[in-house]
Amino acid sequence: MPKLNPKVTVTMPAYNASKYINEAIKSVLTQDYNSFELLILDDGSTDNTWDIIRQYRKDPRVRIYRNKKNSGGGAARNKTIRLARGKYISFCDADDLMLPGNLKTLSKFLDNHQEIGMVYPRALVIKTDINNKMLGSPYLRGQNPDKDWDLLKNTIGQGGAMVRKCIIIKAGGYDETSYYSPVDYGLWLRLAEIASIKYIDSNVYHIINIRTKRLESEDKRLYNAYKLHKISQAIERRYGFKL
């Protein structure tokens, strides 16, 4: 029987992910850890993503939800956080793979370090196109946030990370205002102002699959403008300097 209050909730929002979500789900369910739930949200998919998700509805560790319409990345992630029963939130996108040892290692770290609000592991990043063809060589992502200024570089990898639910709620959750937004970066900037963040420099505990699509020039302009807006907001919050 599932625990009514699992320690960790793994969140997995999905949109038109039928080609790869099955492997993502399996990678979570095979974790060597027994106090977690996997919360999957189909965010209005138009393919057969929901049919695949429903195959896991009888697994006591899995909770499934479905939006009638696509709400966007930020809104979908916030919904999974609101629904989460665990005190720790872990992130696994529908095209990622969670590697063995992730939940056990990161939850133990948070258990033993009450002063830390968020922890994230080294991850292998693979970039592919819409046809699943690899673009360039894979690379490792992971860097101690203390070694680089977060206003200049996003050092935090969302995939496979774990954060205390109370902290992510206090930080205001993900931004839901922009379709082209780097929604995690804005959250990390706010979270770093209220909690300590730690990078575990050890094994690779997650594979992040970045599926790229060609953006029109106007899309790129909006994306970059949004990112700069989040940085300027952080500067004003931290230093009182309004740009």
pLDDT tens per residue, range 148-163: 678 887 888 889 999 9
Q: What was the pLDDT predicted at 219?
A: 65
Sign of CA dihedral 14, 19, 20, 23: positive
pLDDT tens per residue, range 40-58: 999 999 999 999 999 999 9
Class of domain 8-214: alpha beta
Which of 14, 147, 144 is closest to 92 using CA atoms? 14
pLDDT at 217 over 80: no
Could you state, in order of their start, the residue ranges of all structural domains in the chain?
Answer: 8-214
Residue, of 183 and 147, whose pLDDT is higher: 183
SS3 71: coil
What are the backbone angles phi and psi of residue 25, rounded to the nearest 5°?
Answer: -60, -45
Determine which of 135-144, 146-155, 187-196, 223-232 has the lowest per-residue pLDDT on average.
Answer: 146-155
DSSP string for residues in 90-156:
EE--TT-EEPTTHHHHHHHHHHH-TTEEEEEEEEEEEEE-TT--B-S--EEE---GGGS-TTT----
Determine which of 80-94, 106-120, 186-200, 223-237 has the lowest per-residue pLDDT on average.
Answer: 223-237
Structure tokens, 111: 């258990």
